[in-house]
Structure 1
Amino acid sequence: MLHTIIFDLGNVLIGWQPRALFEQVFETREEVDYFLANVATLEWNEKQDAGRSIEEGTRELIERHPEFEREIRIYYDRWTETITGPIEGSVEILKQLKASGKYRLLALTNWSHELFPWARETFDFLDLFEEIMVSGEVKLQKPDPAIYRLLHERFDLQGYGGCVFIDDSLRNVEAARREGLDTIRFENPEQLRRELRERGVEI
């Protein structure tokens, strides 16, 4: 029987789209595509999620791409503009799960420890979680197997039986599955509700 539900946050409960910012910065879609694919890449951003300071990450990227210094600085100076707001259907599911009183609710997110306090202040529904493990705080990140093992240890998940992990990233759910977690790859709130119901969750 399902008793613990573990949520990713970005693009499951909270929209995150760097394009939302950089479409305001660059004049063309092609410039946005190039910058996000070749300069401020997901791989670069993930190092901040894993605990590297924003100052160090920014300095390192400017050294490699000095011609984009202005845009690189904008990435974190205007970072909140990459957050597109709550994903309302998912938030409603979270609230219903909490209201039922039947489930332990945890979150596991790749997020810079310097930036996550803003999210806590901005999105009050995060208070519905028993605990949130933030990659930048533990200096590990999905899909590293070590972060799932730390989650298991810290929250006494007892072999993952009765747990399900929800994430929008295929590599993250595949890594969690290899560790023994039941997983749902998030596509949209309606699909999430359906898959939870298939697991016996009454929402």
Structure 2
Amino acid sequence: MTNPITTVVFDIGNVLVEWNPEHLYSRLIPDDAQRQVFLETVCTAEWNLQQDLGRPWPEAVAMLVQQHPDKADLIEAYYKDWHDMVPGEIPGTPALLAALKANGTPLYAITNFSSEKFAETQDRFPFLKTSFLDIVVSGDERLAKPEPQIYQVLFQRNGLDPAACLFIDDSAQNVAMARELGMTAHHFKEAGELEADLVALGLLAV
């Protein structure tokens, strides 16, 4: 029986390039407890998600500075020094991406990312511009994973059959939604496990 998986859909943050606020704030707030309080009560994951959904960064920063004027410099750093949170590629996965591309595998991406920061990240990592036939960016669509509608944008815009797609993401929620929508999915942890899965699915040679 022919393997039905023909197409691979990547997440980007923490699958292809690392993103972690700790890289920035461990320098700005050396005390572990104080840093965690700041990231859990001021520059929270939910606040950051709104930028991934299209809210402009200056608006987001101004709102928090008004609420926490004593932390203005730390809040502004989240925007101004954002790239300190993205130290480099995830070891091994860009090479797997390149191998899939060399094989002629159709490659796509769905990413939760602000439009502005994604464009800057593509400038830093040019393979993010050249590897994919289409990239669905949450900041452009004003939809974010795991909302099913953002996956549907990819399917409908590119005429993709979910059953023919392998989806790769580091978020268990996003992986679960992909499976619910009919995709095969890999919960990413490290490149070795992903490579083994790609080989098992016949997408890469041993």
TM-score by length of 1: 0.95
C-alpha distance in 2, partners of 1:86/1:125?
11
Tell which deviates more after alignment, 11-20 or 24-33: 24-33
User: What's the RMSD between the two structures over aligned residues?
Assistant: 1.1
Letter in structure 2 aligned against 1:12: V
Which of residues 130, 140, 144 in structure 1 aligns to 2:143? 140
Residue of structure 1 equivalent to 2:187: 185
Residue of structure 2 equivalent to 1:168: 170
1:116: how far off?
A: 1.2
Identical positions, percent = 38
Letter in structure 2 aligned against 1:104: P
Which of residues 64, 70, 93 in structure 1 aligns to 2:96? 93
C-alpha distance in 1, partners of 2:21/2:87?
9
Tell which deviates more after alignment, 168-177 or 9-18: 168-177
C-alpha distance in 1, partners of 2:26/2:111?
25
1:15: how far off?
A: 0.5
Residue of structure 2 equivalent to 1:114: 116
Matched, 1:62 2:58: no
Letter in structure 2 aligned against 1:167: D
C-alpha distance in 1, partners of 2:103/2:148?
31
Report the 3-state secondary structure (helix = DSSP H, G, I; strand = E; otherwise coil) of the residue aligned with 1:161.
Answer: helix
Matched, 1:41 2:17: no
Letter in structure 1 aligned against 2:193: Q
* Larger strand percent: 1
Letter in structure 1 aligned against 2:7: T
Residue of structure 2 equivalent to 1:150: 153
Report the 3-state secondary structure (helix = DSSP H, G, I; strand = E; otherwise coil) of the residue aligned with 2:116.
Answer: coil
1:42: how far off?
A: 1.0
C-alpha distance in 1, partners of 2:147/2:63?
23
1:40: how far off?
A: 0.8
C-alpha distance in 1, partners of 2:164/2:154?
15
Q: How many residues align?
A: 201
Letter in structure 1 aligned against 2:46: E
Report the 3-state secondary structure (helix = DSSP H, G, I; strand = E; otherwise coil) of the residue aligned with 1:45.
Answer: helix
Matched, 1:79 2:63: no
C-alpha distance in 1, partners of 2:32/2:143?
33
C-alpha distance in 2, partners of 1:88/1:23?
22
1:64: how far off?
A: 2.7
Report the 3-state secondary structure (helix = DSSP H, G, I; strand = E; otherwise coil) of the residue aligned with 2:115.
Answer: coil
Tell which deviates more after alignment, 74-83 or 25-34: 25-34
Residue of structure 1 equivalent to 2:133: 130
1:38: how far off?
A: 1.5
Ranges in structure 2 where 5+ consecutive residues have no aligned partner: none
Ranges in structure 1 where 5+ consecutive residues have no aligned partner: none
C-alpha distance in 2, partners of 1:64/1:142?
28
Report the 3-state secondary structure (helix = DSSP H, G, I; strand = E; otherwise coil) of the residue aligned with 1:157.
Answer: coil
Tell which deviates more after alignment, 65-74 or 78-87: 65-74
Matched, 1:194 2:196: yes
TM-score by length of 2: 0.94
1:62: how far off?
A: 2.0
1:27: how far off?
A: 2.6
